[in-house]
Structure 1
Amino acid sequence: MFRIRKEFHFSASHQLSHLPPDHQCARLHGHNYVVVVELAAETLNDDGFVRDYHDLKPLKSYIDDQFDHRHLNDIFDVPSTAEHMARHFYDWCAARWPETSAVMISETPKTWAEYRP
């Protein structure tokens, strides 16, 4: 299996108000998010790629237009956890690129959430 990954970045605020008031994530705060999309294929296309990285440019535009410097609670109908965001971005990518195999989201350099069906 061949796998490729591409990384994208955005900054946004959110608040997990369903958590107890003394939980740090219940307060309004922000992160510098990292989104990594992974695509996989058993064979390569005629150009020798799983998919050309340039084909993933629409994801950058989507992130920049809809998420960068936004308040995520205004965007999501579910709590804006990294886990929910990973699923959201996976669904968005898989609808465009059938080779999508996983999406990982990082809120801090030490934390990652992944959605992989």
Structure 2
Amino acid sequence: MDTATAQLPDGKFEIGKTFTFEAGHRLTGLPPEHKCSRQHGHSYTVEIILTATTLQAPGFVTDFADLDPVKQFLDRTLDHHNLPDVLPIEPTSELLAQYLAGWFLQHVEPTIHGELIAVRVRETGRSWAQFTVDRP
């Protein structure tokens, strides 16, 4: 097979990086009999998804190491905290994904190549919520 003649199609590149943290919360907007209205905790997984139409040398959307500020923020601000005590939002997975997208757009995206597509938050291995950024 001659691989030298393979045509490269046009398109977009996407990458993702996953981070974890442990935290507690309760959802105050639920009826008292709902299990999530009681204090409980999760092993959260946060996935940051980026896109670019061009790559930086040597062929990256962005260097994965350039996403380290996300891990530092999660460790410093959310890990082993009670989320209602440290966040200005009701800590549902949906709102946490939106909050983290906003934080990323303000603090990380201006310093890297690539654009944020979405943030996905998992409270468990079987459920997730995603916030997708609208771009003009």
SS of the equivalent of 1:62 reads helix
Deviation at 1:77, TM superposition (A): 2.2
1:16-71 CA-partner distances (Å, limit 9, x unpaired):
02200110100000000000000100111132100000000111110000000000
Moved over 4 A (4+): none
For residue 64 of structure 2, the aligned residue among 53, 70, 79 is: 53
For residue 119 of structure 2, the aligned residue among 74, 83, 103 is: 103
* Aligned: 1:79 with 2:90: yes
1:56-95 CA-partner distances (Å, limit 9, x unpaired):
0111110000000000000122210000110111111122
Max radius of gyration: which structure?
A: 2
Amino acid at match of 2:118: A
CA RMSD of aligned residues (A): 1.0
Q: TM-score, normalised by structure 2?
A: 0.83
SS of the equivalent of 2:94 reads helix
Partner Cα distance (2:100, 2:28) in 1: 22
Total equivalences in the alignment: 117
* Aligned: 1:92 with 2:88: no
Task: Tell me the residue number matched to 2:16.
Answer: 5
Task: Tell me the residue number matched to 2:38.
Answer: 27
Partner Cα distance (1:78, 1:4) in 2: 28
Task: Tell me the residue number matched to 1:113.
Answer: 129
Task: Note the residue ranges of structure 1 that are not aligned, 5 or more in a row.
Answer: none
Task: Tell me the residue number matched to 2:53.
Answer: 42
Q: TM-score, normalised by structure 1?
A: 0.96
Amino acid at match of 1:74: D
